[in-house]
Amino acid sequence: MIYLDNAATTFPKPDCVYRAVSECLRCFGANPGRAGHRLSAKAAERVYETREEIAAFFGGSPERTAFTLNCTHAINFALKGVLQKGDHVIISSLEHNAVLRPLEAMKEAGVITFDVARVVPQNEKATLENVRALLRPETRLLFVTHVSNVFGTVLPVEQLASFARSRGLLFGLDAAQSAGVFDISMEKLPVDLLCLPGHKGLFGPMGTGALLLSDRVSPRPLIEGGTGSFSLQHRQPDVLPDALESGTLNLPGICGLGAGLSFVRRVGTKAILQHETQLMRLLREDLSVIPGVERFGEAPETLLSFRIAGQPAEQTGSLLDRMGVAVRAGYHCAALAHTSFETTDTGTVRVSPSLFNTKNQIKNLSFSVNQIAMGKVL
Binding site for ligand PLP (CB under 6 A): 7-8, 70-72, 96, 98, 145, 149, 174, 176-177, 197, 209
Write down the least CB distance from residue 192 to ligand PLP, Å.
Answer: 17
Write down the least CB distance from residue 104 to ligand PLP, Å.
Answer: 15
Asked if 14 contacts 261 with a C-beta cutoff of 8 angstroms, the reply is no
Q: Which is nearer to ligand PLP, 10 or 346 (CB)?
A: 10
Q: Which is nearer to ligand PLP, 119 or 290 (CB)?
A: 119
The residue whose Cβ lies closest to ligand PLP is 149
Beta strands 170-174 and 139-145, pairing class: parallel
Q: Which is nearer to ligand PLP, 7 or 251 (CB)?
A: 7
Write down the least CB distance from residue 292 to ligand PLP, Å.
Answer: 28
Distance CA 348, CA 329 (A): 6
> DSSP 3-state assignment of 285?
helix
Residue (of 344, 332, 4, 56) closest to 212 by Cα position: 56
Write down the least CB distance from residue 100 to ligand PLP, Å.
Answer: 10
For CA atoms 330, 336, 337, 339, the dihedral sign is positive
> DSSP 3-state assignment of 310?
coil
Rg, the chain, Cα only: 21
What is the DSSP code (8-state) at residue 245? -
Q: Which is nearer to ligand PLP, 197 or 241 (CB)?
A: 197
Distance CA 76, CA 68 (A): 10
Write down the least CB distance from residue 93 to ligand PLP, Å.
Answer: 13
Residue 145's H or E segment, with its range, is strand 139-145
Q: Which is nearer to ligand PLP, 145 or 343 (CB)?
A: 145
Write down the least CB distance from residue 71 to ligand PLP, Å.
Answer: 3
Q: Which is nearer to ligand PLP, 145 or 227 (CB)?
A: 145
Exposure string (b/e) for 76-88, b if CB count within 10 Å is 16 or more? bbbbbbbbeeebb
